[in-house]
Structure 1
Amino acid sequence: MPFRRSDLADLSYFLAIARHRNFRKAATELGVSASALSHSLRGLEERLKVRLVNRTNRSVTLTAAGEDLQAAIRDPFAAIHEAEDLLNLHRDAPTGRVRLNVPDEAAMRMLAPVLPEFVTRYPDVELDISVDNTMVDVIEAGFDAGIRFGGTVPEDMIAQRLSPDFRWVVAGAPAYFAKHGEPQHPDDLMQHQCIRLRLGNGRMYNWDFDRGEESLALAVPGGIIVDNGSVSRALALSGMGLMYAAEPAIAPLLAHGSLRAVLQEWASPGPGYFIYYSSRRQVPRGLRLLIDLIREMKPLG
């Protein structure tokens, strides 16, 4: 059965479902309800007289026909989106939508300070920002770009630096130190309560320390594990334990005295934030403008 022009929207909906393998996430990307997405897919399957997706309460998978359809139309639809971005080059005021996947700290420390100016300058560009510490395939998930620390950017991506490198420091509340004392050497942390970190790939993060020729990577003890910088700060401020963080993330708290850094001569350098995107896609003009504005305003130096 030939496709009709009215099928184009339903095919784009199908591609979102195929990328996410989840109706709720696909609906969020498209700005529609999950029920509307389900209705669209059902109508497309009825018109094509073939099942494209297997749905259960727990999973969404593609049928063989669905796999073939995704492979056949993915690149043409990507080309259409690229054509839209190319047309932006001929407009006085850029338009379009840019989808970003960023960790919580980057969202608060890097994007939040520049977004008011970006909206003022480019009111017709829509920024769709997913704040997620989980490592995802940004291209497969339908994002235009991701922001991560330099050491975690996939090797097959184009990466551009957005911030300087950071020092990683140990910090705690004065009340914690009054009760437990201050560590004088990284090994002393093995007798302290530490707020442990889980990375976006699910791996536990060892706390790194460097001093001259000495380097240590410690699997610190602690009964609390978090994967969110805001939660880690809140727990440290309450005196529940020591936290390990990039210095800019806690700089205002250090200046205020709400937190105090220790073992500073052991502070470990780490790569700053990078934005990355596929070399196989036309970079949307809105994304280029956002990168330029971050570099202009330098929210993290």
Structure 2
Amino acid sequence: MKFSRSDLADFTYFLAIARHRSFRRAGLELEVSASALSHSLKGLEARLGIRLLNRTNRSVTLTAAGEALLHEIQDPFEAITRAADGLSRFRDAPAGRIRLNVVGDAAPLLLGPVLPTFVDRYPEVELDISATNRMMDVIEHGFDAGIRYGGTVPEDMVAQRLSADIRWTVAASPSYLSTFGVPLHPSDLLRHRCLKVRLGDDRIYRWEFERDGEELAIDVPGTITTDDTRTALPLVAGGAGLMYGPEPAIRPLVEAGAASFVLEDWAVTGPGYHIYYSSRRHVPVGLRLLIDLVREMRPLGL
């Protein structure tokens, strides 16, 4: 059976659909409509004379033939991608598109100080950044890499550290502390107004503390819950209550006199930010350059 250029394009579409198990998410990655992908796959199946995908309203799965095709063509197509990407060294400047899924605080703290320099150095590299605390499979959703705290990186991923460990602190505005008093022990928080924290898996976080070998996790009271530090910061400055968060994010408020740290001798230190990506997929040149620049500039230490 002879193959045409359109067959090769359809194989590329098939690989994206197989990765995502979704026409919509594959279309987002390829910047092609889901209906166009569906039409192309139907044409490919007709020419091959065999069904590659099982489609329902809720799911897309591979048939046995689809699994066999994926196994046979995945590595050759990745080799073509690597070869094409490798040609970047012959260009005046690297190019390409990188999609990143970034935990919320890492966007302003880690990438914010670095990206202006990155854009100046590599103006032809396009960055698409999704900043969210929601836990997700970055590969399934079409991202080249993710950035999370070290302790939450999936075990089957290649990870590289991008920052020093992060200190987690409690802070409140001077007006709040003047009205409600300064907590001296984590248990005092039970009598305070606190801004509760929703984690990326929808659990409400229990504030963690440690001193002299004693570890505490406090289920703090509060009428406001937020899943983003950037949302909590103006609330703290306005006197809404105590907040718990990464020290680098809170420090500008403290330096401006809009907040004060409390319970500092109980502060815990957790794993810093790590970038991670699949060991089975080619790492784009632009992504490697971004990693190198973060490690060069060290906005949060290393």
TM over 0.5: yes
User: Does the Cα contact within 8 Å between 2:205 and 2:219 map onto a contact in 1?
Assistant: yes
C-alpha distance in structure 2 between counterparts of 1:43 and 1:89, whole Å: 37
- Residue of structure 2 in register with 1:10 after alignment: 10
TM-score, scaled relative to structure 1: 0.86
TM-score, scaled relative to structure 2: 0.86
User: Does the Cα contact within 8 Å between 1:194 and 1:241 map onto a contact in 2?
Assistant: yes
Instruction: Give SS of 1:148's match.
Output: strand
State the AA in 2 paired with 1:249.
Answer: A
- Residue of structure 2 in register with 1:296 after alignment: 296
Deviation at 1:209, TM superposition (A): 0.9
State the AA in 1 paired with 2:150.
Answer: G
For residues 127-183 of structure 1, the C-alpha deviation after alignment (integer angstroms, 9 at most, x for no partner) is 232323223333444433221111112233332221111210012233433443332
C-alpha distance in structure 2 between counterparts of 1:268 and 1:103, whole Å: 19
- Residue of structure 2 in register with 1:145 after alignment: 145
State the AA in 2 paired with 1:248.
Answer: P
- Residue of structure 1 in register with 2:108 after alignment: 108
C-alpha distance in structure 2 between counterparts of 1:194 and 1:60, whole Å: 44
- Residue range with higher mean Cα deviation, 241-250 or 216-225: 216-225
C-alpha distance in structure 2 between counterparts of 1:13 and 1:82, whole Å: 18
Q: Which structure 2 residues correspond to residues 41-80 of structure 1 after superposition, within 5 A? A: 41-80=41-80
Give unpaired runs (5+ residues) of structure 1. Answer: none
For residues 226-270 of structure 1, the C-alpha deviation after alignment (integer angstroms, 9 at most, x for no partner) is 322222334434433322111011221121122322111111111
Q: CA RMSD in A?
A: 2.7
Deviation at 1:87, TM superposition (A): 2.8
Quick check: 1:161 aligned with 2:192? no
Deviation at 1:20, TM superposition (A): 2.6
- Residue range with higher mean Cα deviation, 39-48 or 282-291: 39-48
C-alpha distance in structure 2 between counterparts of 1:96 and 1:104, whole Å: 24
Give the aligned length: 301
Instruction: Give SS of 1:155's match.
Output: coil
- Residue of structure 2 in register with 1:193 after alignment: 193
C-alpha distance in structure 1 between counterparts of 2:109 and 2:280, whole Å: 29
- Residue of structure 2 in register with 1:251 after alignment: 251
For residues 19-48 of structure 1, the C-alpha deviation after alignment (integer angstroms, 9 at most, x for no partner) is 333443332222233444344344434444
User: Does the Cα contact within 8 Å between 2:25 and 2:141 map onto a contact in 1?
Assistant: no
- Residue range with higher mean Cα deviation, 201-210 or 118-127: 201-210
- Residue of structure 1 in register with 2:25 after alignment: 25
Change (3 A) 1:29 1:177: farther
Change (3 A) 1:280 1:17: closer
C-alpha distance in structure 2 between counterparts of 1:204 and 1:72, whole Å: 45
Instruction: Give SS of 2:5's match.
Output: coil
- Residue of structure 2 in register with 1:134 after alignment: 134
Change (3 A) 1:142 1:239: same
User: Does the Cα contact within 8 Å between 1:85 and 1:282 map onto a contact in 2?
Assistant: no
C-alpha distance in structure 2 between counterparts of 1:196 and 1:68, whole Å: 49
Give unpaired runs (5+ residues) of structure 2. Answer: none
State the AA in 2 paired with 1:251.
Answer: R
- Residue of structure 1 in register with 2:262 after alignment: 262
User: Does the Cα contact within 8 Å between 1:82 and 1:281 map onto a contact in 2?
Assistant: no
Q: Which structure 2 residues correspond to residues 200-279 of structure 1 after superposition, within 5 A? A: 200-279=200-279
Percent of paired sites with the same residue: 64
State the AA in 1 paired with 2:88.
Answer: N
Q: Which structure 2 residues correspond to residues 84-123 of structure 1 after superposition, within 5 A? A: 84-123=84-123
Quick check: 1:183 aligned with 2:174? no
User: Does the Cα contact within 8 Å between 1:105 and 1:249 map onto a contact in 2?
Assistant: yes
C-alpha distance in structure 2 between counterparts of 1:217 and 1:241, whole Å: 19
